[in-house]
Amino acid sequence: MLRSCAARLRTLGVLRGLPAGRRAPGSEPRPALRLFSSEEVFLKDYSVPNPSWNKDLRLLFDQFTKKCEDGSWKRLSSYKRESAAMMKDFKTHFLDPEHMKEEQISQAQLFTRSFDEGLGFEYVMFYNDVEKRMVCLFQGGPYLEGAPGCLHGGAIATMVDVTLGTCAMIAGGIVMTANLNINYKRPVPLCSVVVINSQLDKVEGRKFFVSCNVQSVDEKTLYSEATGLFIKLKPSLT
């Protein structure tokens, strides 16, 4: 569903974005001139290897790409901004569009894609529809430091939110983070690759319960475990 949407919207010259934990439409169609000039940037899919990806990340990427061959797994694309269609979708669900000032929209970009190559979040997500599992391969760069040499707890929290949210979103559409609970077991070395394995545990009405663990590439180190609750937005009545 996501991919076909992307294809359709691309023909309109509008970017399709992957929300982080919530369904968020992107720039509105009006400032078309601005879009054309930065189109190249915004149409770029960031969930593909680039020179900053280390060996571990590339290896895992290849392994999962192979798993996509039989259709059981799918790689999720990831863009810097969200699409106009998703924005419209979001507006109909969420009140207060007055909050969206135009200058801010033109400058805004998805938090996890606000960094130059290799400095911040380098990640790609693969999804298994049958098992309802989302795997995120994540390499945290030097701008995400916490204690010296370690990944900041907040950066881990961000990626947990993104992964859990995307997992919930694929099952439930537009969702919002309600709760996030993270237990940190061991510090993550900066610039190393971690694997975030997440799954949808249960659905109760509009509530989506998800959980994940964060492990080293060789699965020998458990860095953290987390659970999250995401709520599907109701359509507004206006």
Partner 1 sequence: MIRRGFQVVARLGHHRELLGAPRILPRLNPASAFGSSTDSLVSRFCSEKTDLKDYALPNASWCSDMLSLYQEFLEKTKSSGWVKLPSYKSNRDHIRGFKLPSGLEVSSGKGDWRIFTRCIQVDGQGYEYVIFFHPPKKSVCLFQPGPYLEGPPGFAHGGSLAALMDEAFSKIAYLAGQGLLTQSLNIRFKNLIPVGSLVVMDIEVEKIEDQKIYMSCIAQSRDQKTVYAKSSGVFLQLQLEELSSQ
CA neighbor of 164 nearest in space, from 193, 203, 130, 200: 200
Nearer Cβ to partner 1 (162/193): 162
Q: Are 83 and 16 in contact (CB under 8 A)?
A: yes
Q: How far is the C-alpha of 54 from the C-alpha of 228, rounded, in Å?
A: 29
Only one of the segments 63-71, 183-191, 197-205, 215-223 lies at the binding site for partner 1 (rule: CB under 8 A); that segment is 183-191
Residue positions counted in the chain: 238
Contact residue for partner 1 among 15, 42, 53, 82 (CB under 8 A): 82
> What tokens were used for 98?
């007055």
The residues carrying an active-site annotation are 161
User: Does residue 209 touch partner 1 according to CB under 8 A?
Assistant: no
CB of 63 to partner 1, least distance (A): 26
Only one of the segments 42-50, 57-65, 71-79, 140-148 lies at the binding site for partner 1 (rule: CB under 8 A); that segment is 140-148
Nearer Cβ to partner 1 (143/209): 143
CB of 151 to partner 1, least distance (A): 8
Binding-site residue total for partner 1 (CB under 8 A)? 59
CA neighbor of 104 nearest in space, from 28, 22, 16, 9: 28
Cα separations in angstroms, 171 against 32, 167, 168: 32, 7, 5
User: Does residue 157 touch partner 1 according to CB under 8 A?
Assistant: yes
- Fill in the amino acid letter for 210: V
Contact residue for partner 1 among 107, 204, 205, 234 (CB under 8 A): 107
Q: How far is the C-alpha of 179 from the C-alpha of 227, rounded, in Å?
A: 8
Q: What does the radius of gyration of the chain's CA atoms come to, in whole angstroms?
A: 17
Phi, psi angle pair for 46, to nearest 5°: -85, -5
Nearer Cβ to partner 1 (181/236): 181
Nearer Cβ to partner 1 (12/178): 178
Nearer Cβ to partner 1 (130/220): 220
Q: Is 115 left (phi over 0), alpha (psi -120 to 50) or beta?
A: beta
* Residues making contact with partner 1 (CB under 8 A): 19-26, 82, 87, 90, 94, 97, 99-101, 104-105, 107-112, 114-115, 119-120, 142-150, 152-155, 157-162, 165, 176-184, 187, 190
